[in-house]
A and B are shown apart, each in its own frame.
Chain A
């Protein structure tokens, strides 16, 4: 598979996945852009992976989780090379979406917990695959899902 073919078939899905993780189209775009630049520069290695798709998804997820902790933000923002910005059209759908309660509660979860929810309830991946993407044990995945759900349920009761 070439990089072009990969981008043709997977970019839309990756972007949606990033939207679910970040909850924000601009951040999703930055996240996907930084990930895909690296993927393109290292395509040979990515293509050698058993599943390039899973490899890229793992890279993107880790980047999201590590976000404020430094690494990629620092690399991207502090290098003398400003990130390209793409204008995102704002439409009424977003305004409506912002009123969505469950969606706004998601923003309060720790990133790792949010990632597990997205992987299970949006990507519909089995726990073993989620564990592989996050680099942790299956038990940890289950624990973090149940903790995240408990938080959301508590919000639901209060609301």
Chain B
């Protein structure tokens, strides 16, 4: 009987197993080394997690990438108290570094209330038609391309997008970042992947990979693959934005689990690793703000993702997506007056992710 042959073959080969003593020591040494390496990356991870929160990748250019202010690294024990609510703008860019044709595929507004009792993620559809300063009415993602100009200046792209978002929502945006998908992948891998729960199955048009409905663990490459999917999803770009929000929330949770928000070392190393894939708006001040805020986020702070109400012009006309003024106004008013917690409680149907 083949089954019996198998059983005895297995048992006979048990003696191939090497002794466990040296193996155990090697495991401990390797784990120790990785732990040290990880703690070096912590802050970097924190700042990135914040960025990712948006999921969003935005590549922002740090003018002095190699000269992170010394006080930022040394004086983290007593970060300045936050004055009032803070809004951050995160952009996820599709296209590689050096690609003049970068587009801002994900536009994420991150709102931190004055009491820092939560993190609110508001995804702005990239196809939303908005007034872009100096350009008339355009799709939101064209603001980044227009702002970049011929010089491929990502800070300029972020800045014009910021103006358009401020005009649309009426909120002041304090800082932000732009990252490419590569930055996102690297960050995810630094965290050893993130757990993510999908409401329904997604099949990748790019790799053929199937992401089943339910919870799964995604490494950097898989997360990237998922986040790029748009065609074939029931609600297209809107579903993609939801994936981004889910991912951002999962990433924050993961970063919290890993104690990413401590240890003020190695930020400049991390920034160098990400290189051109990350652009931080506002130079050193913007960076300081992001790091300080990221360090405050703990595991127990709720992350709430909100859908911006939009409507699409009917059949027969040119496709256009616009803000649904009636539905959006209460949300934007709550955002401006820092009462999003209350709004989320009374509009549970518009909250897509919460933890």
Contact A102 B30 (CB under 8 A): no
Q: Which residues of B contact A7 (CB under 8 A)?
A: 24, 27
Contact A117 B6 (CB under 8 A): yes
A23 to chain B, nearest CB (A): 8
Q: Which residues of B contact A42 (CB under 8 A)?
A: 192
Query: B2 interface residue, CB < 8 Å from A?
Result: yes
Q: Which residues of A contact B20 (CB under 8 A)?
A: 11-12, 15
Query: B114 interface residue, CB < 8 Å from A?
Result: no
Q: Which residues of A contact B10 (CB under 8 A)?
A: 20, 118, 121-122
Bound-state CA distance A40–B25 (Å) is: 12
Q: Which residues of B contact A88 (CB under 8 A)?
A: 18
Which of B7, B18, B29, B30 interacts with A29 by CB under 8 Å? B18
Q: Which residues of B contact A89 (CB under 8 A)?
A: 18
Stretch at the interface among B33-41, B128-136, B240-248, B329-337: B33-41
Contact B9 A84 (CB under 8 A): no
Bound-state CA distance A121–B9 (Å) is: 10
Q: Given the known A-B contacts A11-B24, A33-B26, are A121 and B7 also in contact in the complex, defined by CB atoms under 8 Å?
A: yes
Q: Which residues of B contact A103 (CB under 8 A)?
A: 9, 12-13
Which of B35, B219, B257 interacts with A71 by CB under 8 Å? B219
* Chain B 111-128 per-residue mask, 1 if CB under 8 angstroms from chain A, else 0: 000000000000000000
Contact B15 A93 (CB under 8 A): yes
* Chain A 89-115 per-residue mask, 1 if CB under 8 angstroms from chain B, else 0: 100011001001011001000000000
Prevailing SS type, chain A contact patch: helix
A interface size (C-beta, 8 A)? 46
Bound-state CA distance A36–B26 (Å) is: 10
B190 to chain A, nearest CB (A): 11
Contact A19 B16 (CB under 8 A): yes
A78 to chain B, nearest CB (A): 11
A33 to chain B, nearest CB (A): 5
Contact B16 A86 (CB under 8 A): no
Contact B37 A81 (CB under 8 A): yes
Contact B257 A45 (CB under 8 A): yes
The CB with the most chain A CB atoms within 10 A, among B2, B12, B15, B189, is that of: B2
* Chain A 1-41 per-residue mask, 1 if CB under 8 angstroms from chain B, else 0: 00000010001100110011001110011001100111011
Stretch at the interface among A49-57, A126-134, A149-157: A149-157
Contact A84 B12 (CB under 8 A): no
Contact B15 A32 (CB under 8 A): no
Bound-state CA distance A45–B18 (Å) is: 28
Contact B192 A102 (CB under 8 A): no
Query: B28 interface residue, CB < 8 Å from A?
Result: yes
B340 to chain A, nearest CB (A): 31
Contact B22 A100 (CB under 8 A): no
Contact B31 A86 (CB under 8 A): no
Q: Which residues of A contact B38 (CB under 8 A)?
A: 41
A64 to chain B, nearest CB (A): 15
A120 to chain B, nearest CB (A): 9
Query: B81 interface residue, CB < 8 Å from A?
Result: no
Q: Which residues of A contact B17 (CB under 8 A)?
A: 12, 15-16, 19, 25, 28
Query: B3 interface residue, CB < 8 Å from A?
Result: yes
Query: A125 interface residue, CB < 8 Å from B?
Result: no
Query: A143 interface residue, CB < 8 Å from B?
Result: no
Of chain A, the residue at the smallest CB distance from B35 is: A41
Of chain B, the residue at the smallest CB distance from A66 is: B219
Which of B5, B15, B31 interacts with A102 by CB under 8 Å? B5
Of chain A, the residue at the smallest CB distance from B14 is: A16
Q: Given the known A-B contacts A102-B5, A121-B6, are A33 and B18 also in contact in the complex, defined by CB atoms under 8 Å?
A: no
Contact B9 A25 (CB under 8 A): no
Q: Which residues of A contact B2 (CB under 8 A)?
A: 102, 149, 152-153, 156
Q: Given the known A-B contacts A16-B17, A121-B10, are A40 and B31 also in contact in the complex, defined by CB atoms under 8 Å?
A: yes
Bound-state CA distance A141–B332 (Å) is: 53
Query: B74 interface residue, CB < 8 Å from A?
Result: no
Bound-state CA distance A88–B19 (Å) is: 8
Of chain B, the residue at the smallest CB distance from A117 is: B6
Bound-state CA distance A102–B3 (Å) is: 10
Which 3 A/B pairs are nearest by Cβ-Cβ distance?
Answer: A84-B26, A122-B10, A102-B9
**B residues apposed to A, CB below 8 Å:** 2-3, 5-7, 9-18, 20, 22-24, 26-31, 33-35, 37-38, 189, 192, 219, 257
New A-B contacts (8) at CB < 8 Å, excluding given A83-B30, A102-B5, A103-B13: A7-B24, A19-B13, A20-B10, A41-B34, A41-B38, A106-B9, A118-B10, A122-B11
11 A-B pairs with C-beta separation under 8 A? A15-B18, A16-B17, A42-B192, A45-B257, A83-B30, A100-B12, A102-B5, A102-B9, A117-B6, A121-B7, A122-B11
